[in-house]
Amino acid sequence: MHFLYPAFLFALVSLAIPVLVHLFNFRRYQRVYFSNVQFLKEIQEQQSSRRNLKERLILVSRLLALTFLVLAFARPYLSNHNNANAGAQRIVSIFVDNSYSMQTLNREGSLLDEGKRHAKEIASAYSMNDKFQLLTQDFEGKHQRLLSREEFNDAVDAVQISPRSRSLQQIIDRQQNLLNMQPGASRSIDIISDFQKNISNGQPLKVDTGVHISLVQLSANTPANVAVDSVWLLSAIHRPGEVEKLVVRLHNYANENSTKIPLKLAINGEQKALGGFTISARAVQNDTLNFSGLKPGWQRGEISLQDNPVTFDNQFYFSFNVKQQMQVLLIDGGTANPYLKALFGTDQFFSATRTTDGNVDYAGLSTYPLIVLGDIKTISTGLSQQLKVYVNKGGTLVVFPAVDADLTSYKSFLQQMGAGYPEKLLTENIKVSSLNLQNPVFKNIFEDFPQNPDLPIVKQYYQLSTTSGSDESIMQLQGGGKFWAGYRSSKGKVYVSAVPLSEDFSNLPRHALFVPIMFRIALLSGHDQPLFYTLGHDETIEAPPVQSSDKQLLKLVKGKQSIIPDVKQQEGSTLLYVSDQLQETGLYDLKKQDSTASIMAFNDNRSESDLSYYTAHELDKILGDRGSVIGPTRGTVKDIVAQADFGVQLWKLCIILALIFLAIEILLTRYITIKSGADKQILQQERSTSIHT
C-alpha cells in the first residue's frame, strides 16, 4: 500500500490524545453516600470489571476513528503496474478535443462543454503539487508549458471550437514530446474526445514505455448530415460572358437517404443557380451547375445547402479569376513564326508576346498559362531548367522542333520532364491516320465527326520516343507512330509535335485542325491558384508573384479581420505561410496596401463531417495494453482515472471506517450503561435493610 500524501501520517501522533483522555478522565472518582454499605464491596467489584471493559472499548473506537481519519487525508492506495514512481511529482497531459464534431449536442449539452467538465474532474484527482498540460486540436505554443491546477482550469475554460483535426497518433506524439522533457516524473496521458473514425487508421498506437493513457470517450449522437466535399470548374480559362460549368461533389455521411436537399450557388453575392438533390445513404454524388454573365476580375463563389442539425459544413467557398485576356508567350530562335503570329492574332482574347530563346525573362514565366516553343535549334541548359520549373508548377508547354534541331539538346530537355523527344528524322510521305477523340483537346470541338476526315499530310517528321510515363496521343500516323502527343509532368503538361511549323514537313500549319487544337490547348492550360484551400491542412499557399517589402506587407483581409502571413519569394511564385493564424472559413482578399492581388477561399476540413464513432471495444484494440478506455457509463471520470493511474483508492473506505468507529463511540458513551444490574441489587439490599431495622 502507498500513500499519495504521506506527510499527513505525522498526524498519527494525535493518537496520544484519546489515550491521555482515557488515563485522566476515567480515573476520576465520585463520592456517593449510601444508607447501608455492608454489601458495597461485592457491588463495587462487579461494577469495576464492567466499567473497565466499556472504557477500553471507547478508547479503541476513538483510536481507530482517528487513525482512519488520518489515513483518509494521506490518501492510501494499492499500487498497480502503472505506479513505478510512487510519491514522485506527476506530470499529466490532458487533451480536449475541440474539433467541429464536438459541437454535437447530447443530453449533457454540447460535447465540448462535457469534455471541459471531464478535464477539470481529471485534474481534481491529482495533488495540488502536480503539473498539467492542456492540449487541443490547435497545437498552440502556449499549450506546451506546464500549468498548476488553477491555471489549467482557467485554460480549459478558454477552449473554443477549432477547424483543425489531428490524428490520434499525432496527438499522443505531441503529448509525449512534452512528457519526455520531464525525466523522473510519473507521466500519464488523458485524451477526451468523441473519437470519430477519422481520428485513427485503426492501427495500434505507438506509445513510450512508462506512459499510461486513458481514453475518455464522450457519448455522441449520429445525426443525418450532407456536405459539399469539393467543387471544380470544367473550364481552365474563364472568359467574360461565357457559360461556366461548376461540378459540385455532394456526400451523404448518414446511414439513411437524404431527399430534396436544397442547394444554392451565389457568385459575388448574386444567386446564379438553385436546385434540390436526393442522395442515397453513404453515397457520393456529382452534380453540375451552369451559370454565366461573369465580368472580368476575381469572382467570389459560395455554395450553401440547408441540412440540419449539423450546420458547420453547410457552406462551401471558392474563388476564381475571369481574365480579360489570356497571356501567351512565344519563344523562338530569332525569327518569328508567321503561323503562330497569325493564329493568336485571330482572337482578341489571346495576347501573344514574342521573345527569343536568349532573351527570356525567367522571373515572369509563371504569368503565362501557355508557352509555345518553336524553331529553336538548340535548347540551352538555362532555358531547359527554367521551363522544367514552369511545367512542374502547373504550366503548359507546346514544343515544335526546329527544322535543323539539335536532337541531343531536345532529348536532354524533354526527357527530364518525362515527355517523348525527337529521336531521328524520317523522310517519307505519310498521312495522319486517326485522332484520339477521347483526348480532352477534342472535347466539344466536333458536333458530328465525319467518317473519312481530311487529316494532315506529312512529308517528313521526327520519330518521337516511347516513354514509360503516361501520354495522351492527339494524332497518330499510319503505322501507329505519334504525330502530336501530350505528356503529364508534375502539375503541368507538355505537348510535343513530330513536325516543325513548316510546310516542308507537313501541311499542319495551314490545316483546318491546327487552329481549334491550339485554342483548346490554350483554354485547357490554366494554372491559376486553386479554387479553395482547407483550414488546418493547407498551411503553405502558393500565390502569383507579388513583390512585398517591410513597408508594403501582404495581408489576408476578411471584413475587420486582418492577417499578416510569412512571405517567401520563390522562382515565379510567392509562398504564404499562414500556419494557425486562420481560424475562420470564408473569402479573404490578398492585399498589398490598397490593391487586391487575389481572392482566396478557405473551407473546413470535411473529415469532420463524417459523424461515425469508434466503439469502446475498437478503441481497446487500438490502445492495446498501454492504457484503458473510459466509456460514458462506467462511473465518474475522476474516480476511474484516479484508479487507473494510482491504483485502487482507499481513502473513501477510510472515511467510512472512521465514521463507523465514531458511531460506535457515541453508542458506548450515551446509550450503553453498566449500572442496570448493579443498581437493582443495591435497591433490593437497601429495601431489605430498611425492613429489618
Q: What are the residue boundaries of the structural domains of the chain, listed by start?
A: 2-79+651-692, 90-222+611-633, 226-323, 331-344+353-523, 533-603
- Report the length, in residues, of the chain: 693
Note the pLDDT of residue 644: 60
Q: How many whole angstroms separate alpha carbon 434 and alpha carbon 478?
A: 8
pLDDT tens readout for residues 342-382: 999 888 899 999 999 999 999 889 889 999 999 999 999 99
Closest C-alpha to 155, from 96, 206, 215:
96
Q: Is 186 exposed, middle or buried (0-12, 13-18, 19+ CB in 10 A)?
A: buried
624: left (phi over 0), alpha (psi -120 to 50) or beta: left
Single-letter amino acid code for the residue at 627: G
Structure-block grid coordinates of residue 54: 466499556
* DSSP code, position 348: T
Residues whose CB falls within 8 Å of the CB of residue 648, separated by 6 or more in sequence, listed in order: 77, 78, 80
**633 pLDDT above the threshold of 90:** no
Q: pTM higher than 0.95 for the full model?
A: no
φ, ψ for residue 85 (rounded to 5)? -105, 55
Taking residues 8-32, report their average pLDDT: 73
Q: What are the CB-based long-range contacts (under 8 Å, 24+) for 670-678?
A: 672/54, 674/47, 674/50, 674/51, 674/54, 675/47, 677/46, 678/43, 678/46, 678/47, 678/50
Q: Which range, of 78-82, 184-188, 190-194, 345-349, averages the lowest pLDDT? A: 78-82
Note the pLDDT of residue 676: 46
* DSSP code, position 651: H
pLDDT tens readout for residues 388-438: 999 988 899 999 999 999 999 999 999 999 999 999 999 999 999 999 888
Residues whose CB falls within 8 Å of the CB of residue 101, separated by 6 or more in sequence, listed in order: 111, 194, 196, 220, 608, 611
Note the pLDDT of residue 71: 87
pLDDT tens readout for residues 438-471: 888 887 677 677 778 889 999 999 999 987 666 7
Taking residues 36-60, report their average pLDDT: 67
Closest C-alpha to 74, from 8, 164, 169, 167:
8
Q: How many whole angstroms separate alpha carbon 409 and alpha carbon 553?
A: 42
| Cβ 663 vs Cβ 671: under 8 Å | no
Taking residues 618-632, report their average pLDDT: 85
**166 pLDDT above the threshold of 50:** yes
Query: Of 136-140, 299-303, 678-682, where does the model show the most confidence?
Result: 299-303
**Which has more pLDDT, 449 or 635?**
449
Q: Which range, of 23-27, 517-521, 569-573, averages the lowest pLDDT? A: 23-27
Note the pLDDT of residue 523: 86
Residue 32 pLDDT level (bands cut at 50, 70, 90): low
Residue holding cell 445513404? 281
Residues whose CB falls within 8 Å of the CB of residue 149, separated by 6 or more in sequence, listed in order: 123, 124, 126, 128, 130, 132
**240 pLDDT above the threshold of 60:** yes
Fold for the domain defined by 331-344+353-523: Rossmann fold (3.40.50)
Note the pLDDT of residue 29: 56
- For 522, the enclosing helix (H) or strand (E) is helix 514-523
Domain 226-323, CATH class in plain words: mainly beta
CA end-to-end span of the chain, whole Å? 70
Taking residues 290-299, report their average pLDDT: 93
Domains 90-222+611-633 and 226-323 share a fold: no
**652 pLDDT above the threshold of 70:** yes
Taking residues 79-98, report their average pLDDT: 72
Domain 90-222+611-633, CATH class in plain words: alpha beta
Q: Is 381 exposed, middle or buried (0-12, 13-18, 19+ CB in 10 A)?
A: exposed
| Cβ 387 vs Cβ 413: under 8 Å | yes
Residue 202 pLDDT level (bands cut at 50, 70, 90): confident
Structure-block grid coordinates of residue 284: 457520393
**570 pLDDT above the threshold of 80:** no
The CB density around residue 462, as the number of other CB atoms within 10 Å, is: 23
Note the pLDDT of residue 388: 94
Residue holding cell 483522555? 21
Structure-block grid coordinates of residue 680: 437493582
Residue 98 pLDDT level (bands cut at 50, 70, 90): very high
Chain-wide mean pLDDT for the chain?
Answer: 85
SS (H, E, C) 40-73: HHHHHHHHHHHHHHHHHHHHHHHHHHHHHHHHHH
pLDDT tens readout for residues 456-509: 999 999 999 987 666 788 999 998 899 999 999 888 999 999 999 999 999 999
Closest C-alpha to 123, from 192, 60, 73:
192
Note the pLDDT of residue 686: 52
Q: How many whole angstroms separate alpha carbon 195 and alpha carbon 7?
A: 40
* DSSP code, position 671: I
φ, ψ for residue 142 (rounded to 5)? -70, -15
| Cβ 547 vs Cβ 567: under 8 Å | no
Residue holding cell 526546329? 402
Q: Which range, of 45-59, 184-198, 266-280, averages the lowest pLDDT? A: 45-59
